[in-house]
Each structure stands twice: as C-alpha cells, then as structure tokens.
Structure 1
Amino acid sequence: MNHHKKMTKFPWWLRLYILPAWFMYGTAFALFFVCGLGIIDPDFGWHLASGRYYWAHGIPTHDIFTFSAQHFLWINHEWLSDMVLAAMYHLGGHVLVALLYAAIWTLAFWLVARRCRLSIIVLVGAIACLPFAGVRAITWTVLCAAVLYELFRASRRTHWLIPFLMLVWANLHGGFIIGLAYIAYRLIARPSWRLAVITAVSVFATTVTPYGAAIYVEIIRTLGDRSLYGRISEWQSLAFSIEVALLAAVWATCRYFYTRSVWRTAFAFPMFLIIGTVMSVRNVPILVIFAVADIAHMMVAVPLPWVRIRERLQAIRPLMIALALIVVSFGGYLLWRDFMLVRVAAESRYPREIAQSLQTGVCSHGNLYNDYNIGGYLIWRAPRQKVYIDGRMPSWQYGGVKIMDNYYRVVRDASFRQREFARFHIVCAAIPADTAFAKELRQSGWKPVIANSAEFTLLKASE
C-alpha cells in the first residue's frame, strides 16, 4: 500500500521509468529467449560438438575437429559450459537451451538491479546486450560478473565465497579475467590483508582446471593478437550501438552526482570497461552489467530528493516522455522482430544441404577448405568431415604460422592456394557462392556439387 501511494505521487510520464518489475524482467526474458531461439551463433556448433565429445571421451589435449591443426595443443577455457550446453541440448533440444540461456541473462540483470526503482534501466541494458545475447558462452561471464558484484555488496563474510566463484568461472568461460581485474580493483581501492588473501586464493583457484595454469595461455594469446580488431566483427573498435552510449552516459552522470568528484568518476571500474568497449565491442555485455549494477546501487544507497528531481524534470517533460516511449517502443519492436525471426528456422541461415552432402561422404577421399563463419556449423552437422578452420582459431599458430593468415592467403594468392591444397590434400571447398574466389575455382576446373545453399556453394576438384 505504501509503495502504491508513493507511486501515485509521480506523474504518468515519470511512471514510464518505473514500470512494474515483472513487466521489465518478463520483457527482458522474452527478448533473450526469442534471440536465442531464432539465431544460431556461428560458434554454437563447435561448442555443442565439444560438449558431446567431453561427455563421451573426456577432455582432449589436441585439436579434434580440424586437419590443419590436428597436433595443436587445444586449451578450451569453456569446456564446462560446453558440457552444460550438450547436456541441456540432449534433454530438450534448442528450445530448452534457449530457455536456459535466457533465464541466465535475466537472472544476471535481476541480481544487480532488483532493488532499483528505475526499472527501465533493465530494458535499456537488455536491448544493449541483444547483439551479444542468445546461446553464447559469454552468458556465463555476465552471470558470474553479476554474482561477483553482489558478493562484494553483501556482508564481508560472503567475500570468502569469491575464490569458489572464480574457480567455477574459470572453467565456464575465459571472461574470468574480468573477475580478477575487478577483485584487484577493489583491493587497490581499499587495501586490506583480508582482501589480499582473497585475491591470491582467487588467482590460484582459476588454475584449478583440466589445463592447470595453462588456462591462461589461450587467453593471453587472444588478448595479445591485434589482428583480431580488423578481422573479427566482435573485436572491432568504436562499433557499439547508441543504446550502449546512452547507458554509459547515464552511468557517468549518476556517478558524478553520487561522488561529486570527476576523479572518482574517471577511475571507477565501469570507466575502464567503457575504454575497453571503445577498443573492442565484445566488451559491451560486461560494461552493461557493471553499469546497471552501479546505477542501481547508487539509486538505492542515496536517498534521492524526488520532489526536486520531479520539478527539474518537469522543465524537460517532452524530452523525458519521448525518451521513455522510444525505449519501450524499441524494446517492443525488437521483441516483434525476433518473433518474426523465429518463424524462419534458425538453421536456414547455414548451408544445411552442404552439411548433409558432406556427411554422406561426397568429399571423403580428401579434405575440405571452408569459410570461417561456417566452420563451427559443419563441425556440428557434418562431423565425418574435418574442417580447415572454425571460430576457435583466429589466434592459433602452428609451425610458426598463424592459421588465420593462411586462411586469408588461400583466397588471395593462387600459387599459395595450390601449395596449401596439395599439402593437405584439399579436394572440396565450402565457400560463399558469389565471390571472386568461387569464380576462380570454377574457372580452374572445380565443379559445383551444390550451387547455392544459404548463399554458400560446395565445389569439388576434378578427379
């Protein structure tokens, strides 16, 4: 009753920002669910195939899916999340998996924003995360980041749970590095022997994996590869959306008024994440969850002068109405758009006919050169045919040469292509249909097995 009375004090256009929690979290869950159901990530296939292999055979030491790097020491920092994915897919298929991941995304937002009355911030955060949402391994990092934030906000006794969280996190996803960075940030901000011990134990806990301390090898290799910023869309700089910029601006404004200090705002942890997001768009989900968490905390921690705020907002009432309607309407549009996507089979965006043909053994007498973006899908749907490259490999080096460099060189350099194809006995190519590369292969005598499958073609060398 008291809550209802407080709500009635706000004019209708302000209540748009404090819609019922069930509505906001329900909408966020629906957005995440239809996104996961309607879109299959390019890496979904190899994650699922990996999880199935682990359940049946245990953790391999070398690559098991490609012929170009079969002796490469494969360190999969997502092995545990892959096993969870495979188990859930076995129990209920893609629908159950989409439900699970949507629930995880929604739970992460609920954990950090459940006490905040500004419920619209949840919808803004969900919209900002949608391009990175769905059934993706980063989902586990988002959840673990939310749990870590809440452990620090809870009583000091809960801090001793942090090393256990880091142990689990390190086996779920390589994003645990963000968790260690946040722990170190808290230690530097407020040094104490107690937190120093927790930090040291947390670092040690991250080495309790099937790979031991070698779990850091793949992470360091990836983070140190500058070529990713020009080759992989999720590593691009200055590629974030207007929703992310808006959320970052709201956070910075709230932080400044909360601390009354430019320096304390500039050196807050989300500010480092903003810099990271400018450098690489893949950091968006982490920024969003920490920004939403910090905004929610500040609004709960400080009794806000609502009467004065309402008076000042009254002066920009048209802008506030327009902003709220845009956010809510955009959320509704995304929900409608994703539901329309669900009407089209998610797998139709991938070359199903090519996968089926490969599975029947059309290229069994040799190896397959494939487009990078469908490598993971072929690992899943055509397991009998090993691939040349997939989403795990943009930073892999073998024999002193980066496999990704060879992948691009095959397309550009005909003489190198001839040597590479002879070296690996490549007799088939699954590549985009309408490209100069496909035209060159056809002109040199390669015959189409499948002319067009989701805009890809399967070509075979003449025998």
Structure 2
Amino acid sequence: MSVRDSSAQTRSPSIRLILLTLVMLYGAIAGLQTVVDFDLGWQMADARNPLASGDVLSYTAPGAPWIYPSLAGIVFRHLFHLGGYAAISWFCAVALLATLAIVALRSKTSTLILLLLAVPALAGQMIPRSGIFTVVIAAAYTRVLLDHYLGRDSRRLWLLPFLMIFWVNLHTGFISGLGLMLGYIAAEIVDCIQKTKQSRALCQLKLAAPWIAASFACTLLNPWGFRIYAAIAAQEHISALQANVIRELTPLYREFSWRGLQLLSPLSAIWWMLAASAIALVFLLYKRQLGLALFLSLAFGSCLWSSRTQGVFLPVACLIAGEAFAERASSQHHLQRFATWPGLRWAGMIAVLSFVAWRCHDIVTDRTSLREDRITLFGAGASWWLPQEAAAFIEKNHLPTELFSTFNLSSYLTWRLGPHYRDFADGRYLPFGDRIVSAQLKLTHLPLDSEEWNQAVATYHIKTVILPLSRFWGIEEVPLREDCSSRNWVPVYFDTTAIVFVRDGALPQAELSALRVDCQHQQLVDDGNLPQSRRLRMEHYQKLANAAVLYFLLGRNDEAQQALASAGRIARDDRSLVLLNGQLQASRGEFDAAGESFRSSLKMSESDAAWYQLGLLYANQRRYPEAIHAFQRALRLAAQPEFSVELSLAKAEVLNGQANTALQTLQKASQVLPDSGPAKADLYDAEAATYSQLSNWPAAVRAEEKAVQETPAVAGRWKILAAMYTATGRQDQALHAQEKAESLMSQIPR
C-alpha cells in the first residue's frame, strides 16, 4: 500500500466524522421549533377516549364512526403535562436527531452529504403529531431491510415485528411499513430473475420471511383488530373538498414550479432529493442493480403521488442514492484521483461548513421563518399563532356553548377547551364528511348576520364564535369588518391572534354589555419598549405585523402604518409586510410607490398575493395588458384557482377589448364560485359587461337580471339593468328598474 493510499484512508474516517457532526448539529437546530400543528390538538383530545370507535369531540357528528390509533396522543398528552409545549418541541427535535442517526451511522460519505441536503425536508416532516412516529420508524425499517438486502447485517430483522407492535398503535402510517417490506420482497424477486444473484436472493428471502410475516400479523395487535384496515381504507377515499382543505393529501408533483425552484432554498430540498434519486436510478440501472432500482423507484413514485409520504421517501433516498453515488465514484478512477487532492478536500469541507453555518444562522435568527411565511419560530414552546389568551378568556368567563371556529383552529380548541366545549368540525374530517366541512368553510367566509348563519344557529344552537386573525391561516378567511358591526353578534374579545363573538341574547344583557369590545378603538398591541430576548422580540414582531394587517382591514390606516413601521424596526425579511406597505400606499393614492413595494415583495419571493395586488394596481391605472399578465402570474402561482383573481382577470380582459377571452375566464371563475350572493352578483356583472361589449344584449340583460336577483338591495345594479332595458327598447321595465334604484338610494343615510 502506498503512502498516498494510506493517508487517503486515514482522512476518509475524519471526513465522515466531520460530516456526521454537521448533520447532527444542523438537525438539532432545524428540529427545534415552536408548536402549532393543527392535528396535535385533536389527537391529544382523542386520546382521552383511547378505545372509542365513534366521534366524541364534536356536536355536529356525535357517534359518527371514527377509529384512530391513540398511543401517539397519549405520548403527547404526557409530554404536555410534564413540560407543556416546550417538552413537545424538544421531543420533535430528538425525533429528528434519531431519524438522522438511524440513517447516518455507519453510512458512506455520499449518504451524509445527501442527508445535509435533506435536513430541511426532514425537519418539515417532524411536526408534533402522530405522523412523526411514522418518519422515525420508517427510517428504522428502511435501515434494517437495506442492511439485510446488501448482506451487511441480518441480526436486526427481529426489530420489524417488534416496532410494528408500537407502530400500528401510534399512527395509521404503519401501512407504509408494510409497503417497505413489500418493496424489499419485490427487490429480492427481481434479483431472482438474474442468475448471478438468484441463490443469494432466495436465501435472504427465506431468512427474512418469518420476520416479515410476523410483522404483518402484529398489525392486528391494536384495539380494533382488522377494523384498523377499514379505517385506513376510509382515509384513502379522498374527496375533492378534502384534498382542497388538507393540502398534504394532494400529489406532491402539483406543487412543483420551475420558478419556485431555488438552489439554496430550504423549501427546494425535497425537489433536489428527488432529482438526486432520479440520477441514482440511472446509475443503478446502468450497473444492473435492478432490486435497489425498483425499491428506490417505488419510494420515488409514492412521494410524487402523495405529499404525506415524504418522510418515508427521504431515508430511502439517502441510503440507496448514497450507495449508488459511492459505487459510481469508486468505479471512476479519475474521480478518485481528483478527490484525493488536498486542496479540493479542504475547499469542499469549507463549502459544506459555510453552508451549514449559513443555514443554522438563518434558522436561529428566524430569517427562515420570515422568508417562508412560517407560523413557527426557532425554540421550544407554543407558537405565537395559537390564541391562548382568547381560549383562556372563553374559559374564564364561561361563555356559552356550542362553540364554532375554523377547521384548523378547532383542532387546537378541542384540546384546549374540551371536553366541555365541543367543536363544529376539526382536522379529522372523516366523521364530518363534505357536508359539514363545506358548511364550516362557507360560514367562516360569510358575515355573521347572513341568512346562512341564522340557519346554522337554528340547526346547531351555536352561541359562541372564535375566529383566528393571524395573517397566515387566519384573517384571509374572515370578513372582519362586517362581523365587527354585526347586529346579532357581540364582539367580546379581540387581539392579534383571535376575535370572539357571543350571540346576542346568549348571556344576560348586562354581562354581555360589560364584555363588549369596540373593534374600531381596540388597542391590539403595546408599541412600547422592545423585549430584550430574541424569542420575545420576534413574537412581538409577529403581533405588530398581525396588528398592521388588522388595522388596515378595519380602515384604521394610520395605526396600520405605525404598526408597520414598528415591525420594520425589528425585521425586514417579511415579504407580507412589504406587500401590506404597498396596499397602504395604494389606499393613499401613492400608486408609483405602491408599485415599487409590490415589485420589491416579488423580488424577495414570488407570490400569488403580490402579483394579484400588482394586477389590481395596473387595472386601476388602466394599464390593462400589464394587469392581465399580473393576474395570470397570480393564477399560475396560486395553490388552487382563486375566484377573485379569475374575476379580476376577466374584467381586465373585457376592458382590454378581449371579450371572447373574458368569457372563457369567467367560465373558469364560475367553477370556483363561492356560494354567496355578492360573489355570484359580481360574476354576473362581469358577464353582462362582456356580452354588452359583444353586442349580445339579450345575454347581457339575463346576466344583469341574475346579478339583481342575488343582491336586490344594491341600487347600482338596478341602474345598470335600467340602462340595459332602455338599450333593448324595454321602456316599461327600464322605468320600473330606475324607480327601484332611486327608492333604494333614498334609503341610504346622508
């Protein structure tokens, strides 16, 4: 052995040790996040009745069939009682470290490099809910099966049935464990086709078969036996609404965007891992390692098909792709000679160290949270998003049941306020079905004084409403201004995270009057001295940012600008506040400055919201071609078609003389039309304008008549209809419509 070979072997363990240390350090920092997951609450609440097979958490579907493993909820309940949300945060960090250790220990350098790339994606899967156990145990399954397949270690096959006993009682993701074992079997069967590998593959299959069979049998060791499979089958019947509400149920490939793909962005980590896996597949097929290629391709396909399987895919990708890259490198002698250059090794290690240091700095300073619009911060404890003070207010003042909230917030409230306060519908979805969840979504978007709300109160006896107000996963769903001026509901609590209403008459009038708050004068945040600690300062920033949005929505623009300025003194990496600043500038008529703000937000990170606001600005300036382009960009970036954007695009197309194109856009808008009178009337208004431009007056009149039917108290639409009747020679109807418009206008207070 030459001196050069000896020194290369000496350096290799040192490099692996450095990389392993960096992987674990990066994982420890990336995994420590505040708690907010929307499923954690109902899972802890559900664990109060671990053997139940029907719904006990809601008042809309009591007794509806519901089976779900409760051991994870029990674990989280004990952690919460032991150390609150901080204990749960630390548990998630430890779970990520355990997953990284399972994959990293005794792995090759290429696998460790892939793990560094995968840390953000794995950290994104380590959220506090039962699925976290699937990620950890799936990594262990993958390691055991691959070590056996590669002939390195068959002594740990006993772990397969042992872990399955826990897995089936922790999470329905145990089904992916069965998939991993079937993938292993398929890989061995493929190798049996190759004569050179046949005897070895058969021998390994015989050795693994008893443990695999025992693992399948262990899935029945749960409180419901075979019925657990019926519950999983029900979960897999995903409706369009369910996929729309629970984003992780949609295929991952639908989220891909070339523009959104950034080389060093943590959000792109999953795509780079998929790309690395695709390259590894080519190497494996070239070397005729068909078994490993099949195993990896199955994991690759399942990840693209379902976002939920990312946590299972990533360990498989790191281990198999790492093997493929290591073997490819060892077979290329010119690469080996190139890699032994000391300068190259040092340059590589400096690059990796710089990369990890940069990523860790961004996480610790919460720049990553701000840039990615996260509702978590670095550290242990509860997220600023959770309306803990609002929940305490409801509990302290014994506000009446039944309690209504949004789909996401209900999952927290059923734990925080249950079992006394049951929920309308929560993240479990299945007990409620499309009917109840769609009703919940509709009510959330409608003003509290709407007829739909009156019907819901009569049906479900709702007396208290709590709505989230965060600028993420909150206020975008709530008609705040209309609700604050409700005739039938009284606002009794209002801060930067939530607002609480009580039905008029649900409490004694004196008590209700004492609790009432005034949305137009409520001080949402104390803009005093900044907290000294990083964590408290960032939480104060989030309060200021939320307050700025809420003030703006309530028309309190001066206060919104003050809150915005105070938030800007703490952090400047939040594109949502740059966007809000543009909206404030536009409201003051500072259109050039507003355009600059919207474009600055887009430079920070493209978003459908920024493109939409820029489109509205261009339309207001009669720059219709540019408005059309902006609206089209917003639609391409949106996670799902947005009615408001489609409608704005159609209006811009009409004003730009593209009536036929506008009709096609209106057809798309009608497919995502909210079930509300004003939205329908807006659509019919646009249709009437489009047909008018085409001189199709009968169609234009029919469309405007529909708009009037949806909103009969809007004088402006009666005036438009009167003009259309006049244009078509229907004088009597024109006179009636004009009189109706004048009558409605006379009722408006002056």
Give the Cα separation in 2 of the matches to 1:2 and 1:270.
36
Shift of 1:45: 2.3
- Which of 379, 383, 392 is matched with 2:414 structurally? 379
Give the Cα separation in 1 of the matches to 2:421 and 2:38.
17
| Number of aligned residues | 445
Give the Cα separation in 2 of the matches to 1:343 and 1:300.
36
Q: Which has the higher contact order (CA 8 A, sep 6+)?
A: 1
2:488 corresponds in structure 1 to 445
Determine whether 1:178 maps to 2:176: yes
Give the Cα separation in 1 of the matches to 2:40 and 2:289.
42
1:91 corresponds in structure 2 to 82
1:328 corresponds in structure 2 to 356
Give the Cα separation in 1 of the matches to 2:60 and 2:246.
20
Contact 2:121 2:269 in 1 (8 A): yes
Give the Cα separation in 2 of the matches to 1:459 and 1:71.
28
- Which of 503, 508, 514 is matched with 1:461 structurally? 503
- Which of 285, 289, 294 is matched with 2:315 structurally? 289
Determine whether 1:105 maps to 2:96: yes
- Which of 430, 435, 449 is matched with 2:466 structurally? 430
Contact 1:44 1:377 in 2 (8 A): yes
Give the Cα separation in 2 of the matches to 1:117 and 1:245.
21
3-state secondary structure, aligned to 1:459: strand
Give the Cα separation in 2 of the matches to 1:404 and 1:270.
37
1:215 corresponds in structure 2 to 228
2:725 corresponds in structure 1 to none
Give the Cα separation in 2 of the matches to 1:114 and 1:278.
27
Shift of 1:125: 1.7
Give the Cα separation in 1 of the matches to 2:64 and 2:220.
21
2:632 corresponds in structure 1 to none
Amino acid at match of 1:374: L
| Identical positions, percent | 20
Cα distance change, pair 355–404 in 1 and its aligned pair in 2 (3 A):
same
TM-score by length of structure 2 reads 0.53
3-state secondary structure, aligned to 1:212: coil
Determine whether 1:48 maps to 2:44: yes
Give the Cα separation in 1 of the matches to 2:89 and 2:132.
11
Compare 351-360 and 412-421 and name the one that shifted more: 412-421
Give the Cα separation in 2 of the matches to 1:232 and 1:386.
21
2:565 corresponds in structure 1 to none
- Which of 120, 140, 153 is matched with 1:147 structurally? 140
Deviation track 1:236-293 (CA, whole Å, cap 9, x = no partner) reads: 4433632111122223323432441689499533333333333333322222121112
Equivalent residues in 2 for 1:365-376, closer than 5 Å: 366-376=401-411
Amino acid at match of 2:280: C
Cα distance change, pair 346–86 in 1 and its aligned pair in 2 (3 A):
closer
Contact 1:61 1:73 in 2 (8 A): yes
Determine whether 1:239 maps to 2:255: yes
3-state secondary structure, aligned to 1:426: coil
Contact 1:431 1:438 in 2 (8 A): no
Give the Cα separation in 2 of the matches to 1:129 and 1:343.
17
Mark the runs of 5 or more structure 1 residues left unpaired by the alignment: none
Cα distance change, pair 386–205 in 1 and its aligned pair in 2 (3 A):
same
2:522 corresponds in structure 1 to none
Amino acid at match of 1:40: V
Contact 1:146 1:289 in 2 (8 A): yes
Amino acid at match of 1:45: G
Contact 1:81 1:172 in 2 (8 A): yes
Equivalent residues in 2 for 1:64-143, closer than 5 Å: 64-77=56-69, 79-115=70-106, 116-118=108-110, 119-143=112-136
Give the Cα separation in 1 of the matches to 2:315 and 2:479.
42
Give the Cα separation in 1 of the matches to 2:354 and 2:283.
25
Cα distance change, pair 16–245 in 1 and its aligned pair in 2 (3 A):
farther
2:27 corresponds in structure 1 to 28
Give the Cα separation in 2 of the matches to 1:3 and 1:23.
26
- Which of 150, 159, 167 is matched with 1:169 structurally? 167
Amino acid at match of 2:29: A
Cα distance change, pair 9–140 in 1 and its aligned pair in 2 (3 A):
closer
3-state secondary structure, aligned to 1:81: helix
Determine whether 1:410 maps to 2:443: yes
Give the Cα separation in 2 of the matches to 1:415 and 1:39.
37
Shift of 1:425: 0.3
Amino acid at match of 2:237: G
Cα distance change, pair 207–417 in 1 and its aligned pair in 2 (3 A):
farther
Cα distance change, pair 343–325 in 1 and its aligned pair in 2 (3 A):
closer
1:280 corresponds in structure 2 to 306
3-state secondary structure, aligned to 1:447: strand
Give the Cα separation in 1 of the matches to 2:93 and 2:170.
17
2:395 corresponds in structure 1 to 359
TM-score by length of structure 1 reads 0.83
Contact 1:67 1:386 in 2 (8 A): yes
Shift of 1:169: 1.0
Determine whether 1:396 maps to 2:431: yes
Deviation track 1:280-331 (CA, whole Å, cap 9, x = no partner) reads: 333222221211122344467778257522556799x899799747742552
Shift of 1:345: 6.2
Cα distance change, pair 124–50 in 1 and its aligned pair in 2 (3 A):
same
Shift of 1:391: 1.6
3-state secondary structure, aligned to 1:458: strand
Cα distance change, pair 330–274 in 1 and its aligned pair in 2 (3 A):
farther
Compare 120-129 and 185-194 and name the one that shifted more: 185-194
Amino acid at match of 1:23: L
- Which of 27, 47, 51 is matched with 1:59 structurally? 51
Amino acid at match of 2:223: P
Cα distance change, pair 446–98 in 1 and its aligned pair in 2 (3 A):
same
Contact 1:432 1:438 in 2 (8 A): no
Give the Cα separation in 1 of the matches to 2:121 and 2:144.
24
